[in-house]
Structure 1
Amino acid sequence: MELSGLVRALRREEPLPALPPAEQILLRVGRLLAEGADGAPKAGVVRDLGELIEAAKCRWLLGALSPPALGELVAALGAYAAPPEREGEAAGLPIHDSAHAATARRAAEAGSVFLRLLAKLEAAKTHESLGVPVVGPILRPVLGPLYIFAVTHLGERPWTSAESRAAARELLAALVRAAGCGSVAEFLRGKEEDEEGRFAAVMGLLKQELTKDTWKHNPATKHVFSWTLPHVTRPWLSHHLERVLPPSLLISDDYQEENKILGVRCLHHIILNVPAADLCQFNRAQVVYHALYNHLYSREAPLIQAVLLCLLDLLPVLERAQQRWRQQQQQLARPTGPCDEVLQLVLTHMEAEHRLALRRVYARTLPAFVQRLGILIVRHLKRLERVILGYLEVCDGPEEEARLGILETLQCTIEHAWPRMPCRLPVLLKALLRMIWDVHADQGSTPEPVKAALLQGATECLILLDRCSAGRVKVLLEGVYSSCEENRVRECIRKVQENT
């Protein structure tokens, strides 16, 4: 085994008295990596360190090794392979591709060392003079840093390569095995509800990097946090609410759309996996609501979609809190609430919206808001009617997502607010018949299944209108049916007339 690079580097270091040889070597190697030296000498030291760990006997390497010594080495290797900081980018100086390539190469080297170290620790568990009582205290403090290193280089990022990602995947799997767990989720949250996993330790390490002043320095921090959070679900997540809610709000409040969406998805996971009582405590739900509501003024379709989906799951939490407050105040009437506020703003934006991407997002989520309000949708009928009429007129491409969403919205509105529909019958009937004719006459790229879905949706709306108007639609359609010669249009009218 050739260790000339490591030996030469260690000879320049002062020996550490009163420490075992293995611990002296690891501490001195960690200090060498932490120093600002050239990349090539450091790379040689890392490679030699991996060979040394693989060749060393368990008793010599781990027999008298202290957890702080191993922790210092792991931290030094993690810093050696850390992505370049983004302070230069913030100042308008892009990070060169060569810096990212060097980071990926160093990550693959460090990952190889970590894998050999974990293999040695696993072998020491069965060693007659070491075993779990010795290995456990050494391994436990480094599980969190090793996990963060693995997740940092796990995904397809500018600072990763195929080799570094493979090493990270292998390291993460080895970590889960070393902790005696069957999955990453089990590794983080624990096997049982009352068992403490490693999530608290991971968040403790991330906490200092997830502050307002530091979270953008390391470009991997937000990805590590957002990748880790979904693995911790109900009922475990509620124990860590104070750790995960502030960084999620911080990331969602950024000026970059990518970060906003990332933060909103983290908030959505928290809403789905934390009990409503915990969310309402200390007005947390209101804070999240106001953060999401402000995003509704955005003009980016992916962000609006993420925000609306998140709000739909947050609104029931807010409504329950509002209901409890009304009961305490002995109020019977239901005042306007967050759902009304959101729908009012959405309808205002929909009326004037001309971008097809945003029209599709709004139309897809609108039926859920109508269902959410139920009979109280009558508060918004005037504006909702204008939106429905406007969206039925405009073809929005081959998939017709906006029109299909609006037809579903109209069906839900008729079902919930049917007493208010007869007075709107003339204008709605005219709009639906015009849309049926436009779909029939369309010679564009709209697929036949989409045309069929549009015609079916319009027919169902006509049937519902007929039911709530005591058969007036059948009467009005008689003249249309007798004068129309187009089979497809006649088929829609026939279904309405034959419905009982």
Structure 2
Amino acid sequence: MKLDSAEEESRGVPSPLAEGSPSTLELAFSKILHGLSRPESGQGNARTAVLQDLGALIEAAECDELCEGTRSGDSLRGMPEILGQVAKALEKLAAPPKEKAEGGDGHSEVAGKATEVGLLFLKLLGKVEAAKSSPACPAWKTGLRHLAGPAYVFATTHRLKQPWTSPRSQRVADEVLSLLLRVTECSSVAGFLCGENEDDRGRFAVVLGLLKPHLNNLQQVTQPWLSQHLEKILPPSLLISDDYQTENKILGVQCLHHIVINVPAADLLQYNRAQVLYHALFNHLYMPEHHLIQAVLLCLLDLFPVLEKGLHWKGDAVRATTHCHDVLQLILTHMEPEHRLLLRRTYARNLPAFVRKLGILTVRHLKRLEPVIIGYLEVYDGPEEETRLKILETLKLVMQYAWPRIPCRVVVLLKALLKLICDVARDTSLTTEATKCTLLQEATDCLILLDHCSQGQVKVLLSKIVLSCEDRTVVNCIRRVQQSSAAVPCDDS
């Protein structure tokens, strides 16, 4: 039945407005939504009053009014959108507290609120189910689309035994989930999330959007508490990192990284979790998204020590760096042909960390590193020159760790460094003088280290160049190399 004027007046609902304004039902639900948004709405009598008003409003409204609503003039808010906001407010109202309440655990209060909210979700979904069977209301899918996500999050939060649930709240939440699956014509939760067929994309993206704030909160939990909940947080983090949207992938990878640095290695190695993490992260390295690549590489660098501990425990006598080798090999394969500046910077930014990690074992990658270093030193990278500076840092580390293999590459590396010095000396771009000085300093240091690795070959070659060079900046760099001492430490490990 329709809301009559007496009911409207008794509930404080505004009387019908002139044509061209939002409907009376929209205004009534907007008033309820405002009441649910107030901080005091979650407490005692105030909460009960608001929820009772909402229940009466749902019961009195017709199915077609709830699903279709009205859109008048420039208003973009119809009833389905308002119902979606009300559903989100209800789910938030019933959510467990983030912190333990003073003077008690607060769990009984959460269970009571969840029971009240669950009954309202049952009424809303019941209206949609009635609209679904009525030929007079073809817009029931619109209403369901806005209700499904919050209803699912509510049901999964309260249907299982938890510290904040009671037998009654669990039963009501289970009824909400059953009715939701029935109305959406899904045979299982997996079908609800992923879709029952190729034409149905499921509702995972909607649910994920609602859960994002909770995933961000996960990163506030550190040792030792995080390991106690590893079985609950690891699967959803892996699932979200595999989402089709890059933003969600990054969020999932950040959650995985937080898990890696805050859960003991023994727990990560148990049940082969660390290997699962590694393979999930490794697959992301094929994505051409620089923000995602950055998040993945940082996570992998912290995961390598965990994987190595697992190999040591197995009694492996070989130095355990297999995973790091595989990742660096793939990175270098992608770096050489890469032309996008943002990706080049991301790869170069993390390259020194991989060389430090491998140490002398970097010699296995010298054939791939050499063309990458030379190619990246040739390309201008903008005013801050981050890529070139990181490549110079990488070259210094390579010469320190793998110095016995450097003499045969002296000529190639000397040409690349001299070309870089000449380019910087003649640079008229927006690069600041401070950045140019840093580049020249780092390139000169590389020449000095190259000279020591080659037992003075660089000084001999430069002595011929300095006689014919007219650029004062280049000559100053060469003089510094010639005046350098012969004792720069190299890594003998």
Q: 1:24-423, aligned counterparts within 5 Å?
A: 38-45=25-32, 61=45, 98=77, 136=106, 138-139=108-109, 141=111, 213=194, 215-218=204-207, 220-325=209-314, 327=315, 331-334=316-319, 337-423=322-408
Query: Which sits farther off after the overlay, 286-295 or 310-319?
Result: 310-319
Structure 1, residues 306-354: CA drift from partner, whole Å, max 9, x if none?
A: 11111111111112212222x1xxx433476100000000000111111
Q: Structure 1 residues 497 and 223, CA, compared in 2 at 3 Å: closer, same or farther?
A: same
**Alignment partners' CA distance in 2, 1:485 and 1:357:** 36
**Alignment partners' CA distance in 2, 1:267 and 1:399:** 31
Unmatched segments (≥5 aa) in structure 1: 11-36, 80-95, 126-131, 146-195, 199-203
Q: Structure 1 residues 106 and 381, CA, compared in 2 at 3 Å: closer, same or farther?
A: closer
Shift of 1:108: 13
Contact 2:308 2:320 in 1 (8 A): no
Contact 2:304 2:323 in 1 (8 A): yes
Equivalent position to 2:470, from 485, 488, 491: 485
**Alignment partners' CA distance in 2, 1:314 and 1:252:** 16
Supply the AA of the counterpart residue of 2:215. S
Supply the AA of the counterpart residue of 2:206. H
Equivalent position to 1:471, from 453, 456, 466: 456
Supply the AA of the counterpart residue of 1:42. F
Supply the AA of the counterpart residue of 2:234. L
Supply the AA of the counterpart residue of 1:221. L
Count of aligned positions: 370
Unmatched segments (≥5 aa) in structure 2: 1-5, 14-23, 59-74, 116-161, 165-169, 181-188, 195-202, 486-493
What SS class does the counterpart of residue 220 from structure 1 fall into?
Answer: helix
**Alignment partners' CA distance in 2, 1:268 and 1:450:** 33
What SS class does the counterpart of residue 302 from structure 1 fall into?
Answer: helix
**Alignment partners' CA distance in 2, 1:343 and 1:321:** 20
Shift of 1:397: 1.8
Shift of 1:137: 5.8
Alignment partner of 1:453 is 2:438: yes
**Alignment partners' CA distance in 2, 1:375 and 1:43:** 67
**Alignment partners' CA distance in 2, 1:100 and 1:381:** 64
Contact 2:378 2:420 in 1 (8 A): yes
Shift of 1:38: 3.6
Contact 1:215 1:222 in 2 (8 A): no
Q: Structure 1 residues 144 and 341, CA, compared in 2 at 3 Å: closer, same or farther?
A: farther
Contact 1:215 1:221 in 2 (8 A): no
TM-score, normalising length from structure 1? 0.64
RMSD: 4.3
**Alignment partners' CA distance in 2, 1:197 and 1:442:** 66
**Alignment partners' CA distance in 1, 2:321 and 2:267:** 24
Structure 1, residues 169-212: CA drift from partner, whole Å, max 9, x if none?
A: xxxxxxxxxxxxxxxxxxxxxxxxxxx999xxxxx99xx99975
Contact 2:254 2:295 in 1 (8 A): yes
Supply the AA of the counterpart residue of 1:457. E
Contact 1:71 1:141 in 2 (8 A): no
Q: Percent identity?
A: 50
Q: Structure 1 residues 375 and 6, CA, compared in 2 at 3 Å: closer, same or farther?
A: farther
**Alignment partners' CA distance in 1, 2:10 and 2:209:** 33
**Alignment partners' CA distance in 1, 2:219 and 2:475:** 51
Contact 2:33 2:86 in 1 (8 A): no
Q: Structure 1 residues 476 and 251, CA, compared in 2 at 3 Å: closer, same or farther?
A: same
Shift of 1:483: 2.2
